[in-house]
Amino acid sequence: MIDLHCHILPGIDDGAADMAVSVAMARAEVNQGVSVVACTPHILPGLYHNSGPAIRQAIAQLQGVLQQEGIPLRLVTGADVHVTPDFVGGLRSGRLLSIADSRYVLVEPPHHTAPPQLEDFFFNLVVAGYVPILTHPERLSWVPSHYEMIKRLVQGGVWMQLTAASFAGAFGRNALYWAERMLDDGCVHVLASDAHDAERRPPDLAAGREMVAKRVGAEEAQCLVLTRPMGILKDQAPSSLPGPLAVADASSMSTLSTDDALAPQRGDARGGLRGVSGRLRRLFR
């Protein structure tokens, strides 16, 4: 597997506190069956002043330590880049980093407010030749009231990365509900750990893959943790990679109602529909 979102670099954000934690996380990744990790520290002006050259240096240092320790894990460049002005200019100058210097870039919007002109922001990235990957939409508090926009973004070429632990309920009922709903609606492209340490938020991609496979089948689960991530590392065009499975009755399932803010309370009622749609999907594959 390939883990494309991991705060494994030591001491530069709220991820690994020091090199010992980084090494423990690397061992945990290998134990999960992960062979490549994108090192993706936060880049958030005012809080995490990381930049491309410093991240590259930290990756080279950690890779050297892993080699000394005999841990077979390949590290590639990346960043968890928060929405900021002049994003495209930052990528072109090298101040911001895409994943493995590909056209794919992790983008983290604010957690509690949908920024105005968010669609324009993503449009500008797409026309500049990038494929934005919006990180963990299922955990953003504004997604329930903006789900139609999320779907428009997907149709417009924005990819979605969900967090493995969301499917275990680690981020609460809301995140679990939206993770499952987006998966069922065929709106998820990549599953990643977004690990921050070796204990509280550890690498857990194997467990995530298993939970997702129960829902959408082993083949789509493989696409989420290997096929598409591999394509990203090779900088393959999104059109050349398998798209997320669409649920057979997506249009009826995805109809939004005004009580979507109460979505988790509706979860049980939707469970039957999801079960039926999952079975239909497997029949059509």
Interface with Fe ion by CB under 5 A: which residues?
80, 194
**Minimum CB distance to Fe ion smaller for 80 or for 204:** 80
Q: Could you give the 3-state DSSP secondary structure of residue 39? A: strand
State the minimum distance, in angstroms, from the CB of residue 42 to Fe ion: 7
**Minimum CB distance to Fe ion smaller for 80 or for 185:** 80
State the minimum distance, in angstroms, from the CB of residue 194 to Fe ion: 5
Instruction: Give the type of residue at 95.
Output: R
For Fe ion, the nearest residue by Cβ is 80
State the minimum distance, in angstroms, from the CB of residue 4 to Fe ion: 11
Query: DSSP string of 73-96?
Result: -EEE---EEEP-TTHHHHHHHTSS
Angle value at C-alpha 146, between 140 and 152, nearest 5 degrees: 110
**Minimum CB distance to Fe ion smaller for 138 or for 194:** 194
Cα(74)–Cα(49) distance, rounded to whole angstroms? 25
**Minimum CB distance to Fe ion smaller for 21 or for 248:** 21
Q: Are 59 and 75 in contact (CB under 8 A)?
A: yes
State the minimum distance, in angstroms, from the CB of residue 5 to Fe ion: 6
Q: Where are the beta strands (DSSP E) in the chain?
A: 2-6, 36-39, 42-43, 74-76, 80-82, 104-108, 131-135, 159-163, 190-192
Q: Are 55 and 39 in contact (CB under 8 A)?
A: yes
**Minimum CB distance to Fe ion smaller for 3 or for 194:** 194
State the minimum distance, in angstroms, from the CB of residue 245 to Fe ion: 25
